[in-house]
A and B are shown apart, each in its own frame.
Chain A
Amino acid sequence: MSIGVVVFPGSNCDRDVRWATEGCLGLPTKFLWHETRDLSGLDAIVLPGGFSYGDYLRCGAIARFAPVLQSLVDFVDRGGNVLGICNGFQILTELGLLPGALTRNKGLHFVCDDVELKVISSRSNWFCNCTSGEVLSLPIAHGEGCYQCNVETLKRLEDEDSIALRYLNNPNGSISDIAGITNAKGNVLGLMPHPERACDPLTGGLDGKKILQSLIN
């Protein structure tokens, strides 16, 4: 069982993710430079937070063309688990692996806070360590986390049970209080909150462990 953490120029949560998965959960983890195409031997891949390629043009727009992500699309097709956190979520929408888009926060400010989140979807394995409706507390830190999609897509997300987490107090204007979604198959999860920052009681709670543990289920 091994986890890969993609490192783009401008990623800044890659080491936090590795600390959480390897240091706190004991899961073997390695970094994947954005130019690699070799994903062999990996069971799950994390796209971490940060500002990939400076977030030029749009958040995640340039990262979409990284060689590692071309291999990631095949990895997803084969059923591999992929978790995109914050900038990683933005990249997954730009790549088309998740629907919709993340745009500027409604209030314009960068929001750095702990938020309460309700577990909505019980369909995929990502929340097998949580009960449906459980409330988790996780940190957020983003300027462009306002999830937007058209009404047809929102209905599809609801019908498919693909809405993963909802904010109890919406901090950014996201449609339907969405904080995270999965793809139809359920093996790709995008989250604006940072579970890797909630895996050690010294740095902010333990609720993140419940999500990261499911990387290898």
Chain B
Amino acid sequence: MPNYQASVLVSLRASVLDPAGEATRSAAKGLGIQGIKRLRIGKSISLELDAPNEAEALRRVELLADRLLANPVIEDWSLDLKPAPSSL
């Protein structure tokens, strides 16, 4: 069975406060790095899965992202899926 690897990026919606991102932006100034206008913190989730084909792999990871990895009330997600190097 083909093996796939996926990366899901979860980010806070633009309208949601991100105090940790603001604190990090402020710390960047302390490091002397100028010009950072916006800094938002999210999560990156890497996973590998077995699925019969790419469309089915995509369906499963989309379901996972939408129902568990992200809370759609406050977060958006995007994903990248490709065959795992070992299965090529």
Do the two shown chains form a genuine complex with each other?
yes
**Residue positions of A touching B, CB distance < 8 A:** 57-58, 61, 93-94, 99-101, 103-108, 146, 148-150, 173
> Which residues B31-69 have CB closer than 8 A to chain A?
68-69
7 contacts between A and B (CB under 8 A): A61-B71, A101-B73, A103-B74, A104-B17, A104-B20, A108-B20, A150-B15
Measured CB to CB, the closest approach of chain B to A100, in angstroms, equals 6
Contact across chains for B71 and A148 when beta carbons are under 8 A apart: no
**Residue positions of B touching A, CB distance < 8 A:** 15-20, 23, 68-69, 71, 73-74
- Distance of A61 Cα from B66 Cα, bound (Å): 12
Measured CB to CB, the closest approach of chain B to A175, in angstroms, equals 9
Residues of B within 8 A of A108 (CB): 19-20, 23
Contact across chains for B19 and A100 when beta carbons are under 8 A apart: no
**Secondary structure of the A side of the interface?**
loop
Contact across chains for A61 and B19 when beta carbons are under 8 A apart: no
Measured CB to CB, the closest approach of chain A to B45, in angstroms, equals 9
Residues of B within 8 A of A149 (CB): 73
- Known contacts A57-B68, A103-B17, A103-B74; 14 further A-B pairs (Cβ under 8 A): A57-B69, A61-B71, A99-B73, A100-B73, A101-B71, A101-B73, A104-B17, A104-B20, A106-B19, A108-B23, A146-B19, A148-B73, A150-B15, A173-B17
